[in-house]
Amino acid sequence: MKAEDQYLVALAVGSQDTTAFGELIRRHQSQIRNFLRKLTGDFSAADDLAQDCFLHAWDKLQTFSGRGSFIGWLLKVAYTTFLQAKRKSKRYAEVLDEAGHVAQIESRSYTQDSVEASDLDKLLAVLTQEERAIMIMSYACGLSHREIGEATGLPVGTVKSVIFRGKEKIRTSFDIKDHQHG
Amino acid sequence: MTSKIINMAERLKDAEDRLLESMFRSEPIADAGFSRRVVARIRRRIWLRRLALPVAMIVGGAVAIKPASELALAATKLLTVIPLGMFDVPAAWMPQMQTVILGAMLLVVGMLGMRMIED
């Protein structure tokens, strides 16, 4: 039987059990790395950030209250790590601002076809950093509006309006109405 | 009641939402040693933190030994200035100097040991 995340967190906090924390990393690394890969558009930078995210999570593990989901809390740490890294390093700013989140298709290893990967990158390029993060949390990670609010520190109403604005931008930039009905 | 309505509204996804979900969806990323690397980094950091205090104490002690010995020497010189009758304590009450040093050393080692166990 798989132990609950909360139980593993309690083990990791209570007895500094790195094995329990390792299990938590194994469970959630895919979602965190996917989130950061979509957010940065740079696979190696995203994986470096994911490592830093889990190190920060280890340091702050005792602050996890257990009220929300553990993945929601981890995504909050990942987003904070991303923002801190972006502030500190010019590299991330260049990746996002200059490239405008243009896909590095060659270096990517999507199992889906390249057209779909390219579509997503083009789609993300029209969004601001905040919109991008919130849209990814909502549509890629499946977080509720409340969980996104907790992760980003924004009120639920703001989260909803950011999603609405993001969808509006995508709608005006791409003709997705055709896809809606067929 | 209001929160239930909000949650229900959140669940009612239209075709556009479903399309966006399909576009954002991606295959799970294989661990491929990622978690092992992170855990190794965490363990390394734990050991570094455990070693930091004893190492700092040794380095600090090495740096401070010369001024400390000079201070002790100055203190002993000062003691010779004080009249002998001032501390008229029977010699038998005072423990031997070697015992005092040994006790102090045991105390320091014991404290360090306790700290290591606690960690």
Domains, chain A, ordered by start: 5-180 (1.20.140.160)
**Residue B73 domain-assigned?**
yes
Q: Are A26 and B35 in contact (CB under 8 A)?
A: yes
Q: Does A132 touch chain B (CB under 8 A)?
A: no
Q: What sign for the dihedral angle of Cα A92, A95, A97, A100?
A: negative
The pair phi, psi for residue B33, each rounded to 5°, is 85, 0
Give the HSE-up count for residue A66: Cα atoms under 13 Å, Cβ half-sphere. 9
Q: How many residue contacts between A and B have a Cβ separation below 8 Å?
A: 83
Confidence at residue B76, expressed as pLDDT on a 0 to 100 scale: 79
Q: Out of A21, A51, A139, whose CB is closest to B20?
A: A139
pLDDT > 70? residue A49: yes
Who wins on pLDDT, B116 or A12? A12
Q: What is the distance between the alpha carbons of residues A149 and B98, in angstroms, rounded to a whole number?
A: 66
Q: Which two tokens stand for residue B60?
A: 């600090």
Write out the residue range of the structural domain in which residue B77 sits.
51-81+92-113
CB A25 within 8 A of CB B34: yes
Tokens of B107: 């105390």
Q: Do A110 and B26 touch (CB under 8 A)?
A: yes
Q: How many domains does chain B have?
A: 1
Structural tokens at position A150:
């907790």
Task: Measure B54 CA to nearest chain A CA, in Å.
Answer: 20
Structure tokens at B55: 């190492």
Provide the 8-state DSSP code for A181.
Answer: T
* Contact in structure between A163 and A135 (CB atoms under 8 Å): yes
pLDDT, tens digit, for every residue of A141-161? 889 999 999 889 899 999 999
**pLDDT value for B29:** 92
Residue B20 lies in a domain: no
In chain A, what are the helix, strand and coil shares in percent, each to the nearest 5?
75, 0, 25
Shortest distance between the Cα of A91 and any Cα of chain B, in A, equals 23
Per-residue confidence (pLDDT) for residue A27, from 0 to 100 = 94
Find the length of chain A.
182
Reading phi first (left if > 0) and then psi (alpha if -120 to 50, else beta), residue A21 is in alpha
Does any domain span residue B11?
A: no
What's the whole-model pTM score?
A: 0.67
Confidence of residue B95 (pLDDT cuts 50, 70, 90): low
- Token pair belonging to A158: 């703001």
Q: What is the pLDDT of residue A125?
A: 86
Going B111 to B113 to B116 to B119, the CA torsion angle's sign is: negative
Please report whether residue B3 resides in a domain: no
Helix (H) or strand (E) holding A99: none
Measured between its terminal Cα atoms, the distance across chain A in Å is 42
Q: Could you report the per-residue pLDDT of A85-132, keeping only the tens digit for each?
A: 888 876 656 666 665 655 444 344 333 444 445 578 888 888 998 999
Count Cα neighbours of B57 within 13 Å in the Cβ-side half-sphere.
9
User: Would residue B70 count as lying in a domain?
Assistant: yes
Tokens 């790195």 correspond to A18
pLDDT surpassing 50 at residue B100: yes
The pLDDT assigned to A162 comes to 93
What is the predicted pLDDT for the residue at A41?
A: 85
pLDDT reading at B119 higher than 90: no
What's the mean pLDDT in B27-50? 91
Confidence of residue A178 (pLDDT cuts 50, 70, 90): very low
Outline where DSSP puts E strands in chain A: none
